[in-house]
Amino acid sequence: RCVVLAGSIPPRLAPDFYRRLLDRLPPRPDRTIVVDTYPQLLRPLLEGAAALPTLMTPNIEEFAGMTAIAPSFFRGRLDRIVHHALPFLERGVETLIVTLDREGALLLSRKEGHLEIYTARPPQIVQVDTQGAGDTFLGAYLHAAALLDWPAADALRFAAAAGTISAGKPGTGGIESYEEVVRFMPLVEVCRLA
């Protein structure tokens, strides 16, 4: 049900590798195509793909690279992120989630013409190691949204809880269980903006 194109690629491959791969994966209603990678690999995809992925989960720096605008322009300004994210939804991305480090995440989703915008704000924690927290966030979101078929707000809350727990522990893979994430979920504030 999910195809995830994430991270870097071997140096011998061209920067448009993800675009070419995406062009070979035509959209299907029963498949979620996810892209979570660096701006230098996103640009060729965004500029030339026949169809954009179903889900994109850039962090604020990657989102800035997608829009060719400095990250400082977006920090603390959800209105600016929304304004510059909407064109991606108009071009075919169903869900765009911008992770905002300690500030949580912003989710924009357009399905069947209906726009939903949510923010997730986790509690402030002592960040021990943020390496892998974004990957944890994405994995948790896919688990909740694509496998469990949770509504966007609940999937976002679950993902923010998992990413926050991950950032509060050393190394990667610090989440002990599904139940640990579920217990943390009530601490994540989710607000609907649209």
- Domain boundaries of the chain, sorted by first residue: 2-192
| HSE-CB for 95 with a 13 A CA cutoff | 23
Q: Is the pLDDT of residue 126 over 90?
A: no
C-alpha span between 33 and 177 (Å, rounded): 26
| Backbone torsions φ then ψ of 106, nearest 5 degrees | -125, 125
C-alpha span between 145 and 94 (Å, rounded): 12
Residues 6+ apart with CB under 8 A from 14: 20
Q: Is the pLDDT of residue 32 over 90?
A: no
From the CA atom positions of the chain, what is the Rg in Å? 16
Q: Is the pLDDT of residue 163 over 90?
A: yes
Question: pLDDT (tens digit, 9 = 90+) per residue, 71-108?
Answer: 999 999 999 999 999 999 998 899 999 999 889 999 99
What is the architecture, at CATH level 2, of domain 2-192? Answer: 3-Layer(aba) Sandwich (3.40)
